[in-house]
Structure 1
Amino acid sequence: DSSPEAAATLVHAWLAAGDGKNARLALASALAARSGEPERVRVQACLADARLSYYSGDRARGCRSLVHALRLAEREQLRLPFVLEQGWIGPVLRRDPELASIHRRLFPSAPRHDQPQGGSGLPPEATVLVVEPPTERELEVLRHVSGMLNTAEIASEMCISINTVKAHLKSSYRKLAASHRGEAVRRARQLNLI
């Protein structure tokens, strides 16, 4: 698939693998996304460009791409791409509190001038890398799981089959690198997804 959406996903996979060169090559087609592409795809492409630029030392380009992603996301209030990229966006926003302040609706927990700046409260090994974000339905299932509902109760609440609930859970485990329900819920909470 050569769609911009597939390219954006491929960029994140290369970034997760630590291969900036191939990520930059895949990024070219993702950045070419026209206005007909979903906003989230364009936001992901801009965020990937910003991340690559910051890592390569080109702070000016990184800032431009990040600002472009923020402006695109502001229209639809897209928060998930920024939550998934919080590992590198957090330090950038701490260095530029004005940028965080302008787009504070996308960053409800972004540091303000009057707040002490601290870490996320998570040990480094608790950082979760998510290449593909969970869908809304998968997140809804995880919210129900966090409310201590069993599979049959979740299926009844959501008016779906038990097998569909299991499929959503299995997909969530893969996307959040979890092996069971409790771990998936914990990681989704760490990422502020639920």
Structure 2
Amino acid sequence: MYFSIDGEENLKQKLLLSAINEFAEYGYEGARVDNIVKAAGCSKQTVYHHYGNKENLFIEVLEYTYNDIRTKEALLTYDDDKPVENLEKIIDFTWDYYCKNIWFLKIINTENQSRGVHLKKSKKIEGINARHITIMSGIIKKGEEKGLFRDNIDPVHLNISIAALGFFYLVNQHTLSHVYGLEITSPQSLSKRHAVIKETIMRWVLR
């Protein structure tokens, strides 16, 4: 269980959090509405009233998932005159968020297994992620102006690379642990991986 349903949320919130737990654990196909309503302490009729069906519920879970990381990322403060530190701050935040919110990675992985069909039906995702690209574009532009960053760095691919270096490691922690004989999620291993991610990105970006 990734979210505890402690009774303080309203019924719609309980359903959403229960759904996140279920979808993260069993994927879209394996998730059961019966389990979701049982955890939320309501009936199937409540799901249909608030969300219509399982697919609409999952779409809202996806929107919540992306909005959560983007909202917290937006709380970061940046010094316009320090593009290197700003980029490092995004790298640090992304890694820390992934480590603390494995449910996020599982929900995204679940949608990839569904070939992104549900995400395409969302009317909110594009707006949720828009500021994310704007922030990175500004950091790159300032770094280039100050002669610190290489020219023509694509902000989208930079964001993807930061995400990929952490996402792959954590999502595949069980197979990687077996293949390489490592304690992938030990504090020492996580710290080392964090350092590798930061060095990899900064060596690519800096002149």
TM range (shorter): under 0.3
Point out which structure has higher relative CO (alpha carbons under 8 A, 6+ apart): 2
Task: Tell me the TM-score normalized by structure 2.
Answer: 0.24
More helix by share: 2
